[in-house]
Structure 1
Amino acid sequence: MGNNVGSAGERRVVITGVGVSAPGGVGAKAFWDLLTDGRTATRRISAFDPSPFRSQVAAEVDFDPELAGLTPQEIRRMDRAAQFAVVTAREAVTDSGLAFEALDPRRTGVTIGSAVGATMGLDQEYRTVSDDGRLELVDHTYAVPHLYNFMVPSSFATEVAWAVGAEGPATVVSTGCTSGLDAVGYAADLVREGTADVMIAGASDAPISPITVACFDAIKATTPRNDDPEHASRPFDASRNGFVLGEGAAVFVLEELNSARARGARVYAEVAGYATRSNAFHMTGLRPDGKEMAEAIRVALHEARMNPTDIDYINAHGSGTKQNDRHETAAFKRSLGDHAYRTPVSSIKSMVGHSLGAIGAIEVAASALAMVHDVVPPTANLHTPDPECDLDYVPLTARDQLTDAVLSVGSGFGGFQSAIVLADPEREQR
């Protein structure tokens, strides 16, 4: 492997548009301001009364679909997660500067990731048709007319495709908490192989509902630190005791590098390498050696034609559970060797929570913006590092640093382990 990203005659894929709907603010600028300020958007759950639950905190998006530009019919038709996806895709399209009406719609595709689909819509509709659980035999006549859309997550890709006029490949990727990374990686592959010229790719989840909170309560994965929501998410800290549930979306415009250059587009980053692996081990457990994540990192670096020493920053999964933080710390050491100790690592989940399938895409957005601004976002609430997590986790405060290549990783229930490498296509000139 050398230091060159891509090779002559190869289709290289770049991000030219970014849209984000995240806790703390809707829009990529508000999102980046939150991260670089080191502010947290975690709070007591307001979407419903959380008092019966073990974990009562979450990172919610202050989102008004009407103010975001959705029509009353769109709001009625779409679950909250689908609304996130459409609004965020529109931001990415506008940001890209592409004239979508001039594109061949058959060469424009959509890939959206989601772990739990229309959870909020299904939860609400069940409460309605069952009269808040009192009816054993539900009355379907009370259901929203578009209930079927809530049952099939493929509707997310359909809604985004309609919004942008895409008639090419349209797919929903659902691989748990790596869905966002996998959706972007898959979309990049479609552009790279020539199946599509432009892809709208990202992920959306809105899981903050009683059923989701109850499920994570049952396995004690979420934090019970209800008395201090702002400091409840503590990745890599010795006092961490579970993750904070979140919601949101991030969507990107991906296109071929030469095409982007020809139209004078702003390029955020090249999607230089991607890989995913499964540990075939346990539904929720992780091997402590990080072997499968390390393998995904190795293959992503190989695809990017990069060495471990080329990585300037690692955007960690960093969920704030004891086993995950130790697992990926081991994976970084295993895949990057001594360079792991010299590379800043941070978890934005400390600020925006864990939005399940959406978080991988949101972390790709953070990674791309870190490259544009040459700033590494911090790990908030990291005051007492776990001795077993002994890397540079950028505690509390953002750091100015030349950032030309970023590794972002994800780890999901079911054993999914994914890695993506973003690089500045002009980094050798820099």
Structure 2
Amino acid sequence: MTAGPGGKAVITGIGVVAPGALGREAFWELLAAGRTATRAITCFDATGFRSRIAAEADFDPIAAGLTHRQARRMDRAAQFAVVSAREAVADSGLDLPATDPGRVAVALGSAVGCTTGLEREYQVLSDGGRDWLVDHSYGVPHLYGYMVPSSLAAEVARDAGAEGPVTLVSTGCTSGLDAVGHGAQLIEEGSADIVLAGATDAPLSPITSACFDAIRATSAHNDDPGHASRPFDAERDGFVLGEGAAVLVLERAGAARARGARIYAELAGFAGRSNAFHMTGLKADGREMAEAITQALRRARLDATAVDYVNAHGSGTRQNDRHETAAFKRSLGAHAYAVPVSSIKSMIGHSLGAIGSLELAACALALREQVVPPTANLRHRDAECDLDYVPLTAREHRMDTVLSVGSGFGGFQSAAVLTRAGT
């Protein structure tokens, strides 16, 4: 990603739906306070599951501004996305109705699409799984939309009146990073003037939980859900599933400055790699993530020593945390030991495809506040994870450049570099 006819993309609006925090400012308040939003699952009966904890969003679609018809039509993930996009647009100060709709684009990521709606409708059509041959007449009229993940991006575009390129990116747990990277590319190549970029996922359902139970990827600290998500901690035993969405308004830097917009950050560089190795396995040396980091910094025209904070993928699995630590050392060299690193999954869980956009929102707000959010629950450091992971408490820290990384099933590795406006 290099600057083209449209110039670099900047973030001028942020919208968030997250566990424990609805809205951008509540989200930042939770992170800065180091509060955890993980708890026992309430959205379905988790009795009998290995992992019975999650980070749930206390979200009421009607209270959040959707109509009853919209709430009935949209899957929960779509609801998150539309509400987040509305907040982001309002935050940006843009008057979208007065904007050429053909120059407004949407780039949305999701790992598991409309899982909640699909599972609910299967339960109805199959009479709780009793019938192998289902009667389609019992399904809601919008069932086809649940089966097509692109419906999520289409809902955001319809609500915003966006008639430019509309894309759904699904690259597992890097979807949120990759969608924002794609949105920035649309700006830089001149294909759009404004992009609503981000991701959404609402995976808290029996089928998703069963899948992660089967590979023992999620935490079984059911007796202490508030401390179950423990990235980089020696006593961690997997991630805590979460849900949520974040949407960022991206604009051309010159246009944003010309209209006097408040700029959170510039998306200075983005890169992605694949390990072409294993669906869930990671190579111990972290080479592919390191290459993504190095390429993102190169595209930002920055040296590794320019990085002031790293927002880690930090899922809380032993394999990921050690792989990621190796990648930081490989890409940043000796500077890896000097730069603060943290994982917000310790507080809001792992919302699969959505988490990358939530982490970018956190990075933009960290640049605004000049505060590094902590890694909550990090009390017993793993000897193989020997970097500065900012345990327990947020830290005031001078930042001009932040790095956010993601790692996803399928071997996906992504890195994005944000710089403070004017740097």
TM tier, smaller:
over 0.9
Distance in 2 between the 1:73 and 1:91 partners? Answer: 20
Structure 1 residue 425: deviation in Å? 3.0
Distance in 1 between the 2:351 and 2:234 partners? Answer: 23
Structure 1 residue 12: deviation in Å? 1.5
Distance in 1 between the 2:225 and 2:265 partners? Answer: 34
Q: Percent identity?
A: 68
Distance in 2 between the 1:321 and 1:12 partners? Answer: 35
Is 2:282 the counterpart of 1:286?
yes
Alignment correspondent of 1:271: 267
In structure 2, stretches of 5+ residues that fail to align are none
Structure 1 residue 266: deviation in Å? 0.4
The alignment partner of 2:97 has SS state of helix
What amino acid maps onto 1:245 in structure 2? Answer: L
What amino acid maps onto 1:332 in structure 2? Answer: F
Structure 1 residue 142: deviation in Å? 1.2
Residues 212-271 of structure 1: per-residue CA shift (max 9 Å, x gap): 000000000001110000000000000000000000000010000111011110000000
Structure 1 residue 8: deviation in Å? 11
Structure 1 residue 133: deviation in Å? 0.9
Structure 1 residue 7: deviation in Å? 7.8
Regions of 4+ moved over 3 Å:
6-10
Distance in 1 between the 2:378 and 2:192 partners? Answer: 42
Alignment correspondent of 2:385: 389
Distance in 2 between the 1:423 and 1:38 partners? Answer: 24
Alignment correspondent of 2:307: 311
Alignment correspondent of 1:40: 36
Alignment correspondent of 1:402: 398
TM-score, normalised with respect to structure 2 = 0.99
Is 2:173 the counterpart of 1:177?
yes
The alignment partner of 1:246 has SS state of coil
What amino acid maps onto 2:269 in structure 1? Answer: G
Distance in 2 between the 1:10 and 1:204 partners? Answer: 27
Query: For 1:253-272, what aligned pairs fall within 5 Å after superposition?
Result: 253-272=249-268
Residues 385-408 of structure 1: per-residue CA shift (max 9 Å, x gap): 000000000000000011111000
Is 2:375 the counterpart of 1:415?
no
The alignment partner of 2:50 has SS state of coil
The alignment partner of 2:199 has SS state of strand
Distance in 2 between the 1:101 and 1:71 partners? Answer: 20
Structure 1 residue 302: deviation in Å? 0.4
Is 2:209 the counterpart of 1:213?
yes
Contact in 1 for aligned 2:375/2:391 (Cα 8 Å): yes
What amino acid maps onto 2:195 in structure 1? Answer: M
Query: In structure 1, which of residues 308, 323, 343 is the aligned counterpart of residue 319 of structure 2?
Result: 323
Structure 1 residue 134: deviation in Å? 1.2
Distance in 1 between the 2:179 and 2:215 partners? Answer: 27
The count of residues paired between Structure 1 and Structure 2 equals 423
Is 2:246 the counterpart of 1:250?
yes
Distance in 1 between the 2:91 and 2:411 partners? Answer: 35
What amino acid maps onto 2:95 in structure 1? Answer: A
Distance in 1 between the 2:60 and 2:400 partners? Answer: 36
Alignment correspondent of 2:353: 357
The alignment partner of 1:338 has SS state of helix
What amino acid maps onto 2:102 in structure 1? Answer: R
Structure 1 residue 9: deviation in Å? 7.7
